[in-house]
Amino acid sequence: MRTAVTADIHANLEALLAVLARIEAIGADEIMCLGDIVGYNADPNLCADIVRSRNIRCVLGNHDACAAGLEEPDGFNPVAQRAVLWTRDKLTDENRLFLRSLPREQRVGDLFLFHGSIHDTNRYILYMNDALDNFTMLAAMGKSLRIGFFGHTHEKAALSFDHGAVSVELWPDLKLAEEKRYLINPGSVGQPRDGDPRASFLVYDTDGHRVTFNRVEYNVHACQDKIIRAGLPSWLAERLASGT
């Protein structure tokens, strides 16, 4: 079985459609999203409509929580705050309720899906001690949990845990070892920050025990135009071109 894993779509319709087309070409059996469907870019409703209508298995992101009125964006930088309050204003009732209904984390067989950190949507996994904390929490939830999929940093990452030590694994193709646990971030669909502007996602092949990272080009200009026309901060458009 092939599972496509996406994260941080952030209301970027062009990137989302390009990723879904690639997933269709690859032939995935299921699509998952690790939160932040909305925020930053200008198509929150169309992106939420697609995620809902395609039954994409999804957890709540910090931008989703603020846009849906579950939290206030007090810790956000001024640009992110402006965008999330704009999004809150634009969301249809249907999409607000949809975002409010999302679980913060979800267990699916030997997978655990969450946005930022286990039990904390707003916290990042950036450093080795963050990874160690999350591997400890993953282990505490049961032996059968092998992989934690997370987003929030907008940078792809694959970390493994074996005999008390965390290692950084190499991409783009990762063969999973039976005895290890993994924390894996597919990168961001709608606002990559690793210097590569192409939309990012991964495919997990459960039979071959393999994770493959993918990048897809999309129409960045169309997305930028919408951001400017919507009156959102121009930096949000500029950063898409550089992937930062």
Q: Which residues are near Zn ion by CB under 5 A?
A: 8, 36
Nearer Cβ to Zn ion (36/105):
36
Least distance from Zn ion to the Cβ atom of residue 175, Å: 28
CB of 239 to Zn ion, least distance (A): 13
**Angle 169-153-68 (CA atoms, 0-180°, nearest 5)?**
140
Beta strands 181-185 and 147-149: pairing type? parallel
Residue with smaller CB distance to Zn ion, 36 or 71: 36
Give the nearer residue to Zn ion in terms of CB position, either 8 or 43.
8
Integer CA distances (angstroms), 56 to 6, 51, 159, in order: 10, 5, 25
When the beta carbons of 8 and 14 are compared against Zn ion, the nearer one is: 8
Report in angstroms how near the CB of residue 52 gets to Zn ion at its nearest.
Answer: 19
The single residue listed with the structure tokens 């934690």 is: 148
Residue 216 contacts residue 198 (beta carbons within 8 Å): yes
Q: Give the shortest CB-77-to-Zn ion separation in angstroms.
A: 12
Q: In terms of CB distance, is 8 or 155 closer to Zn ion?
A: 8
Q: Which is nearer to Zn ion, 149 or 161 (CB)?
A: 149
Q: How far is CA 182 from CA 19, 51, 90, 194, in A?
A: 24, 26, 37, 21
Closest approach, Cβ 215 to Zn ion, in A, equals 18
What pairing do the DSSP bridges indicate for beta strands 30-33 and 2-6?
parallel
Expressed in angstroms, the distance from the first to the final Cα of the chain is 33
Considering the complex, what minimum distance in angstroms separates the CB of residue 95 from Zn ion?
17
Neighbour-count burial for 51-81, b at 16+ CB within 10 Å, e otherwise: bbeeebbbbbbbbbbbbbebbebeebeeebe
